[in-house]
Amino acid sequence: MPAHDPALRALARLPRPLYGHIEALPNRVLGYRHRHPWCQFAYALQGVLEVWTDRGRFVAPPQWAVWIPAGVAHRVRCATGTRIRSLYLDNSVCAAARSRCRVLTVSPLLRELIRAFSHLPAEYDERGADGRLARVLLDQLGAAPEVEFMLPLPADPRVRLVCNGLQRHADRDTSLAAWSMRLAISGKTLTRLFVRETGLTFRAWRQRLRLLDAVPRLERGEAVTEVALDCGYESLSAFIAAFRRLYNMTPGELSRANRILPAGG
């Protein structure tokens, strides 16, 4: 269920500690920030889901999902054909370790549990089989490991200016020195600010941006070579090596994994 759904906004409380319905989002940016009094587990059964907060961009193809804690302002975007299976969790059942936004792995078991749960009535029988399914699902959500499908965003206006420019033209190789000249600060200062604000060096941040930009195109089945060149890589081998280092899989493996995921449900 998308966050802007009026039925969700009208709820004074969730009908059950775990709540979820089938819904699809259109191909448009939800151009407003919003927040929930509950935790959200946003998962795309098909397509790529992106969640933006003040401090990060979180990208999740079907093998991953985005965890959004209660009260965190965010906006969502996704492409045509993306099919969402969002879950909403009362704070009483949210794991304490899930206190920040992150991208989590969706195992085959977790995926099937989400699929089955999305068809249950909102007020399912907590004492019967439906309640037992919900408890197993909660256990699996709490155990889901984190992956680095996120791009940290800075608060400092100078670093944010650089990051915004990089996001508009991720394929360009504008150097740190060139950016420092534009900002009239030293390269050393900008380097220090970048690490302080994002936890990454300028080069590492730009590389992660390019690799994240590649994910939706790979999920759509576009040619790896074309994606690599468009993302600013001079060779296919360099792109594949960088992708494997960050995500522990090759671009081809990501594309193949998405193609074999079941489309039903």
* Domain residue extents for the chain: 6-147, 154-260
Residue at 16: amino acid letter: R
pLDDT > 70? residue 29 = no
List the structure tokens of 152. Answer: 């940290």
Minimal CA–CA distance to 204: which of 235, 234, 166?
166
Residues 220-235, mean pLDDT to the nearest whole number: 89
Q: Which residue has tokens 């900002």?
A: 183
User: Binning pLDDT at 50, 70 and 90, where does residue 92 land?
Assistant: confident
Residues 69-73, mean pLDDT to the nearest whole number: 92
> What's residue 221's pLDDT?
85
**Torsion sign, CA atoms 7, 63, 47, 30:** positive
List the structure tokens of 13. Answer: 């409380």
User: Binning pLDDT at 50, 70 and 90, where does residue 26 land?
Assistant: very low
Angle subtended at Cα 246 by Cα 244 and Cα 251, rounded to the nearest 5 degrees? 40
Coil, helix or strand at residue 106:
coil
Residues 232-240, mean pLDDT to the nearest whole number: 91
What gap in Å lies between CA 162 and CA 42, rounded to an integer? 29
| CATH (residue range 6-147) | 2.60.120.280
Count the alpha carbons within 13 Å of 180 in the hemisphere toward its beta carbon.
14
pLDDT digits (tens, 9 = 90+) for 115-168: 899 888 888 999 999 999 999 999 999 999 998 889 999 999 999 999 999 999
Angle subtended at Cα 47 by Cα 43 and Cα 50, rounded to the nearest 5 degrees? 60
CATH class of this structure's domain 154-260: mainly alpha
pLDDT > 70? residue 30 = no
| Neighbouring C-beta atoms of residue 245, cutoff 10 Å | 10
What gap in Å lies between CA 32 and CA 157, rounded to an integer? 21
Q: Which residue has tokens 């030293």?
A: 186
What gap in Å lies between CA 43 and CA 72, rounded to an integer? 17
Q: Which residue has tokens 């059964």?
A: 45
Q: What is the pTM of this model?
A: 0.84
pLDDT digits (tens, 9 = 90+) for 237-261: 999 999 998 888 899 888 776 655 5
What gap in Å lies between CA 13 and CA 139, rounded to an integer? 22
What gap in Å lies between CA 120 and CA 229, rounded to an integer? 45
Are both 6-147 and 154-260 of the same fold? no
Count the alpha carbons within 13 Å of 63 in the hemisphere toward its beta carbon.
19
For the chain, the maximum distance between any two Cα atoms, rounded to a whole number of angstroms, is 65
Residues 202-224, mean pLDDT to the nearest whole number: 91
* Chain mean pLDDT for the chain: 85
Residues 44-66, mean pLDDT to the nearest whole number: 90
Answer for the pair 252, 214: CB distance below 8 angstroms, yes or no: no
pLDDT > 70? residue 33 = yes
What gap in Å lies between CA 23 and CA 35, rounded to an integer? 18
Answer for the pair 23, 14: CB distance below 8 angstroms, yes or no: no
